[in-house]
Amino acid sequence: GISFKEITNYSNECNRRIKFENMKLFPDALPLIKKLKGKFLLTTLANVPDSVAHEKVLRTTSLKEHFHFHFDSITTGTRKPNKKIFRLVLNHFKVKPIEAVMVGDSPSADIRGGNNLGMHTILINRNGIKYSFTELTKPDFEISSLKQLPKVLKKLENKSK
Residue 14 pLDDT:
62
Percent pLDDT > 90 in the chain is 68
Distance separating alpha carbons of residues 44 and 143, to the nearest angstrom: 19
pLDDT tens readout for residues 55-98:
888 888 889 999 999 999 988 999 999 999 999 999 999 999 99
Condensed to tens digits (0 to 9), the pLDDT of residues 101-135 reads 999 999 999 999 999 999 999 999 999 999 999 99
* Residue length of the chain: 161
Q: What is the pTM of this model?
A: 0.86
Q: Is the pLDDT of residue 153 over 70?
A: yes
> CB–CB of 101/124 below 8 Å?
no
Identify the band that residue 144 occupies on the pLDDT scale cut at 50, 70 and 90: very high
